[in-house]
Amino acid sequence: MRILIAEDEQRTRQGLVRVLQSLRDEYEIVAQASNGKAALEMILEQKPDVVFIDIKMPFMDGLSVIEAARAQGIKAEFVIVSAYADFDFAKQSISLGVIEYLLKPLTRDEAEAVLKKIENKISGKNSYSRRKSRNLRDKYPDAHPMILQALDIIQSGYAGKISQKKLAEDLGLSQEYFSYLFGKNIGENFSTFLREYRIEQAQYMLREEICDQRDVPYQVGFSDSKYFKKVFREVTGKSPSEYLSEIKE
């Protein structure tokens, strides 16, 4: 598991390094950042599995780093380690899909527990990937070969940034022709299809408890949980909470 540490206080950062290094050999610290700007650059470059991050840092606070990383499609698990037991900070961190909000100094037991929690979550995601809902190609067997390629890209990359323009470019088509071809073969426009597919995956993840409910938006390509809830309701007629309540009855 690849870990990045973002902490402006050198002594605290070194202490966290020692705690993590005292655990398992599989935990590799790939980078350390002493300010928010550097942290974001390192996260985008290294793409770690886990980021331990402080909130109050120079140039860019921890929550802004997480928000910017999510907007760039980063799926790392974020663990906030803060000196402040602040309710507003904690509430905002939940909306960003942070897996844990811990107070300094981080103990060995706390570090071990949160990393075990993350391992279990990643294991669940991998299981989900292997069992992912039916292949999109199987739903549209007679589609144009270019559209079948587009469906492959959507199925493998829906959790990240996908646009009609970029997809058309990748396939060597004009945006106008791709739009025409997609609509003709699939029966709806690209943006509607992608939106509905993401919500379909979100429903599956909620139903099967693949990950924490708060993390679902970020796992299916949304960087804003409020917008996810809005789209979820538009597509299903229910909020995520209502959907969960209904299937548990």
Q: Where in the chain is the domain with CATH 3.40.50.2300?
A: 2-123
217/190 Cα distance (integer angstroms): 20
**DSSP of 109-137, one letter per residue?**
HHHHHHHHHHHHHHHHHHHHHHT-SS-HH
Distance set, CA 176 to CA 58, 148, 165, 179, 195 (Å)? 45, 17, 9, 5, 20
- pLDDT at position 124 is 59
State in words which class domain 136-248 has: mainly alpha
Under DSSP, is residue 48 helix (H, G, I), strand (E, B) or coil?
coil
Q: Where in the chain is the domain with CATH 1.10.10.60?
A: 136-248
Tens-digit pLDDT string for the chain (249 aa): 999 999 999 999 999 999 999 998 889 999 999 999 999 999 999 999 999 999 999 999 999 999 999 888 888 999 999 988 777 777 778 767 788 889 999 999 999 999 988 887 776 555 555 445 457 888 888 899 999 999 999 998 898 889 999 999 999 999 999 999 999 999 889 999 999 999 999 999 998 887 788 889 998 999 899 999 999 999 999 999 999 988 776
Strand order of the sheet with strand 2-6?
A: 28-33, 2-6, 50-53, 77-82, 100-103
- 237: exposed, middle or buried (Cβ count in 10 Å: 0-12, 13-18, 19+): exposed
| Answer CATH for 2-123 from 3.30.160.70, 3.40.50.2300, 3.40.50.9100, 3.30.70.270 | 3.40.50.2300
Question: What count of residues does the chain have?
Answer: 249
- pLDDT at position 61 is 95
